[in-house]
Chain A
Amino acid sequence: MTTTEPRDAIEQVSSKFGITPEDYMLPARTEIHMLDINGKLHPSGQQGAEPGHEYPLPSPKALVDAYEQLVIGRRVNDQNSALVRQGRMAVYPSSHGQEACQVAAALCLGENDWMFPTYRDTVAVMAKGVAPMEVMAGFRGDWHSGYDPKQYKVSIQSTPLTTQLLHAVGVAHAAKLRGEDTVVLAMCGDGATSEGDFHEALNFAAVFNLPVIFFVQNNQYAISVPLSQQSVAPSLAHKAVGYGMAGERVDGNDLVALLAVLGRAVRLAREGNGPLLVEAHTYRMQAHTNADDATRYREDSEVQGWIDKDPVTRMRTYLADAGLLPQDTEARITAHAEAVATALRDGMNSENVPDPADLFAHVYSTPTTQMAEQAAMLADELAREEDAK
């Protein structure tokens, strides 16, 4: 177990950057961005960077790999929304418009690192390697969750807002006690930062000096409620200093900047410098879910304004201009995304009949007498129905 006191850790890392602890903890004056809305790289020095907040450009290979996941992510969102419209699943909270955040959240992590996603983070979950149809089991109504969190080091897609942040803290704490260098990335939305568990999780992570990245996708709305009604903090990233951790804001539609900022956050956390908070500034292009009507609380013109900042278009333009996207590469990426979409369609269109006996099988490690009695009752009821046919 590392014995560094949290305060010493902050002192050490800030002096390494040659800045005060306050300047280390406070976000840079403007959000970190690397690509402009036309997909042009900002000349260095104009990236919102300042001493201690400088971010090197990720390697060309990292950028192309990330772009591939970005294209897949967009395809997954659109395919799933279509499947909802066709009645193949009840609900899908789309991250359309937020795919750069989703992809960067997955790609910044190493194999033994954990991710704690929400209901909206399906694309991130898939990008970290969870088999798409295992992810979709929850959305199509087979079971509440369909994959093995331990196998993928991806926790369940949490619905009770910010409860998962504390689980992330616990996973990191356990790893630290065993001397492992696991980093944990914990995700939530802008509205969720008002929840009590958000506060408790950030405070615990800081007090125990744990390697947790709190990644807030600020998509401006919590269902219908705009951020201005959640918080009057200068930014959500500014909340970090209140806990004694570093905060940073990043353009959430700029995959290059996201990879750089989250990449550095993961490195810093792994080196024992404690938790970090990263706020990504993005936009939920579609309604909260298919069941929501966004026209009741926001103007269409506002949505239109964000189309220009589309993360996929920007990244594609940049890579193409940089000569990193030859035709065969693009064709391969498109084919890959199409294959994922086809697999989703085929999977969702095939009937899967859940076994009613499963209702009782997993409540406890071994069904109690009462569970067994109720299972027998249902089995008997079903047998009689079968006989009556």
Chain B
Amino acid sequence: MSPTATTSSAANGNVSAATAAAAARTADAGTQPVTFAKALNSALADAMALEDSVLVFGEDVGVLGGVFRITDGLTKRFGTGRCFDTPLAESGIVGMAIGMAMNGMRPVIEMQFDAFAYPAFEQIASHVAKMHNRTKGRMPLPMVIRIPYAGGIGGVEHHCDSSESYYAHTPGLKVFTPATVRDAYLMLREAIDSPDPVIFMEPKKLYWTKEQVDLEALRLSHETDAVPPTEGRAAVARSGTDATLIAYGPSVSTAMAAAEAAALEGRSLEVIDVRTIVPLDDATICESVRKTGRAVVIAEAPGFASVSSEIVARIQERCFHSLAAPVLRVTGFDTPYPAPKLEKYYLPSVDRILDAVDALQWEEGA
């Protein structure tokens, strides 16, 4: 769903912005290799071009374009009133975004890294999540908090946390996490259009991955509502019949690689990409598990009291009689995220997933 473009930059006679938009459309037409980062950047630019109320701000998001370059070129194209740097204060960034959303804007703000969103936790848990409910919907907060998260890049401490469970545990927040370049574009557009606040978690190890994508076609399909929304709809990333791997964000590619490897051994694994942790698509997950009778949930975050434990609990509640084996998990250990040289022991790996699959009580010869 696209909001009506009440005040598009082009309509305001902002010629350079209109020219930039036209240039982007021509350059993006046709299928070509596109990075995850570029897809996010295009989603921001397209949303900003459509509506003047969409604002981008955070730390180093202006001239630098963000430490991951996700906001590259936005200040140049839309001006310092639309994309700007703030003082270093995460609670300040989120708190100011709340006020802006209260007063007609749609802020899309960036937390520089997962662990640096923690100073903003009070604003997120006490206001972002609760304003709509406490005012019975009279004060909606349409805003997006973008958070680069998770590891796998050899990052130092405080740069690799999988913090999704904190947000998912807080009623009132929506939690999106794309795993493909296509979804990166579509889901960010959807998050910006959402009347509810969205915590948009970007697996930082995917920023530089490429996929063959026609961005211009995606743009058109989003703006004409030609694609179904991703919110509350998990994707079947790979069809299979023997067991279901359920993953999201950074773990989807690992699950896909595991399914690939299992196929070589004659085992057909289905892979579900959760896409939106909140709201969670119980239906698609359960449909798959009822079909296969076996499931492994994969996530980088420590497994204890986590999104992965929630998914297992829900499968157990809903699919108990279809299960041939206990639902297993492959998650990060219940330790702080390790230093770079130890990361490989911590992260869910293809082998660890295949071991879990092997442990799903297969009958002899199956």
Q: Are A169 and B280 in contact (CB under 8 A)?
A: no
B191 in the interface (beta carbon within 8 A): no
Task: State whether A196 touches B91 (Cβ < 8 A).
Answer: yes
Pick from B55, B92, B130: contact of A201, CB below 8 A. Answer: B92
Within 8 Å of chain A (Cβ to Cβ): is B33? Answer: no
- On chain A, the residues within 8 Å of B55 by CB distance are 177
Known interface pairs A160-B126, A203-B89, A363-B172; A170-B132 also in contact (CB < 8 Å): no
Residue from the list B99, B137, B174, B282 in contact with A172, Cβ < 8 A: B99
* Cβ of A362 under 8 Å from chain B: yes
A4–B104 Cα distance when bound, in Å, is 23
Chain B residue at minimal CB-CB distance from A365: B195
Whether B196 pairs with A174 at a CB distance below 8 angstroms is no
Q: Verify if A178 is at the interface (C-beta below 8 Å from B).
A: yes
Contact B105 A196 (CB under 8 A): no
Contact yes or no, B136 A163, CB < 8 A: no
Q: Which listed residue, A1, A151, A197, touches B95 by the CB 8 Å rule? A: A197
Q: Which residues of A contact B171 (CB under 8 A)?
A: 363
Determine if B86 and A170 form an interchain contact, defined as CB atoms under 8 angstroms apart: no
The residue among B95, B134, B137, B172 with the most chain A CB atoms within 10 A of its own CB is: B95
Chain A residues in 8 Å Cβ range of B279: 364, 368-370
Output the residue of A168, A170, A196, A368 with the most chain B CB within 10 A.
A170
Q: How far is the CB of A182 from chain B (nearest CB, A)?
A: 8
Stretch at the interface among A77-85, A141-149, A265-273: A141-149
Instruction: Give A370-388 as 1s and 0s: 1 = Cβ < 8 Å from B's Cβ atoms.
Output: 1000000000000000000
Establish whether residues B133 and A363, one from each chain, have CB atoms under 8 Å apart when the complex forms.
Answer: yes
Shortest Cβ distance from B195 into A: residue: A365
Contact B102 A171 (CB under 8 A): yes
Given contacts A175-B103, A365-B140, contact A148 B232 (CB under 8 A): no
Q: Which of A262-298 contact B (CB under 8 A)?
A: none
Q: How many residues of B contact A (CB 8 A)?
A: 47
Distance in angstroms between the alpha carbons of A173 and B139 in the assembled complex: 17
Q: Are A207 and B100 closer than 8 Å at their CB atoms?
A: no
Residue numbers in A under 8 Å from B195 (CB-CB): 365
Residues 101 to 129 of chain B near chain A (Cβ within 8 Å): 101-105, 107, 119, 122-123, 126-127
With both chains docked as a complex, state the minimum distance between the C-beta of A271 and any C-beta of chain B, in angstroms. 20
**Are A363 and B132 in contact, with the CB atoms below 8 A?**
yes
Question: B131 is contacted by which of A148, A156, A174, A177 (Cβ under 8 Å)?
Answer: A156
Pick from B119, B135, B140 the residue with the most CB of A within 10 Å. Answer: B135
Let me know if B139 and A204 touch, CB within 8 A: no
A122 contacts the other chain (CB 8 A): no
Contact among A149, A178, A207 for B102, CB-based, below 8 A: A149
- CB distance B123 to A163 under 8 Å? yes
B278 at the A/B interface (Cβ < 8 Å)?
yes
Q: Would you call A167 an interface residue if the criterion is a C-beta within 8 Å of the partner chain's C-beta atoms?
A: yes
- A143-B100 in contact (CB<8A): no
Q: How far is the CB of A30 from chain B (nearest CB, A)?
A: 33
Q: How far is the CB of B84 from chain A (nearest CB, A)?
A: 9
Residue of A nearest to B194 (CB): A365
**Contact between B86 and A204, CB atoms less than 8 A apart:** yes
Are B126 and A143 in touch, CB under 8 angstroms? no
Size of chain A's interface in residues, with CB distance under 8 A? 42
Contacts of A177 in B (CB 8 A): 55, 81, 105
Near B by CB (< 8 A), chain A positions 133-157 give 143-145, 148-151, 155-156
> Is A174 in contact with B92, judged by CB distance below 8 angstroms?
no
- CB-CB under 8 A from A123, the residues of chain B are none
- Whether B37 sits at the interface, judged by CB under 8 Å, is no
| CB contact list, B227-244 vs A, under 8 A | 232
With known contacts A172-B99, A368-B279, A369-B232, A204–B135 Cβ distance under 8 A: no
Q: Flag whether A166 is at the interface (Cβ < 8 A).
A: yes
Interchain CA distance A258-B108 in the complex, whole Å? 39
Q: Chain A's nearest CB lies how many Å from the CB of B243?
A: 25
Kindly identify which residue among B81, B127, B174 contacts A364, using a CB–CB cutoff of 8 Å: B174
Q: Does any Cβ of A come within 8 Å of B96's Cβ? A: yes
Q: Which of A1, A114, A160, A166 contacts B96 (CB 8 A)?
A: A166
Binary contact track B275-287/A, C-beta < 8 Å → 1, others 0: 0001110110000
- Indicate whether A166 sits within 8 Å of B132 (C-beta atoms), given known contacts A160-B122, A364-B174: no
Q: Would A365 and B99 be within 8 Å (CB), given that A149-B135, A174-B104, A178-B104 are in contact?
A: no
**Interface check B138, CB cutoff 8 A:** yes
Which B residues are CB-close (under 8 A) to A1?
81
Bound Cα distance from A150 to B99, whole angstroms: 12
Please report which residues of chain B, range 123-180, place their CB below 8 angstroms from some CB of chain A when the two chains form the complex. Answer: 123, 126-127, 130-140, 171-172, 174
Q: B87 within 8 Å of A by Cβ?
A: yes
Q: Of all chain A residues, which has the CB nearest B127?
A: A163
- Bound complex: CA of A150 vs CA of B139, how far in Å? 7
Q: Which of B123, B136, B196 contacts A143 (CB 8 A)?
A: B136
Chain B residue nearest in CB terms to A145: B134
A149 to B102, CA, bound (A): 9
B100 touches A173 (CB 8 A): yes
User: A181 within 8 Å of B by Cβ?
Assistant: no
Contact of A173 among B99, B123, B126, B172 (CB under 8 A): B99
CA distance A51 to B245 in the complex (A): 74
Contact A203 B87 (CB under 8 A): yes
Inside 8 A of B105's CB, which chain A residues have their CB? 174, 177
Whether the Cβ atoms of A156 and B132 lie closer than 8 Å is no
B98 at the interface (CB under 8 A from A): yes
Partner of B278, one of A145, A170, A368: A368
Report Cα–Cα, A174/B87, bound state, in Å.
17
Asked if B50 CB lies within 8 Å of chain A CBs, one says no
Set B99, B119, B130, B139: member contacting A169, Cβ < 8 A: B99
Nearest 9 CB-CB pairs, A to B? A170-B99, A166-B95, A200-B92, A368-B279, A174-B103, A167-B99, A144-B134, A170-B96, A365-B195
Q: List 10 A-B contacts (CB under 8 A).
A: A143-B136, A148-B135, A156-B134, A166-B92, A166-B99, A170-B95, A170-B97, A171-B102, A177-B81, A201-B95
Residues of B at under 8 Å CB distance from A? Answer: 55, 81, 86-87, 89, 91-92, 94-105, 107, 119, 122-123, 126-127, 130-140, 171-172, 174, 195-196, 232, 278-280, 282-283
Contact surface of A with B, Cβ cutoff 8 Å: 1, 114, 143-145, 148-151, 155-156, 160, 163, 165-175, 177-178, 196-197, 200-201, 203-204, 207, 358, 361-365, 368-370
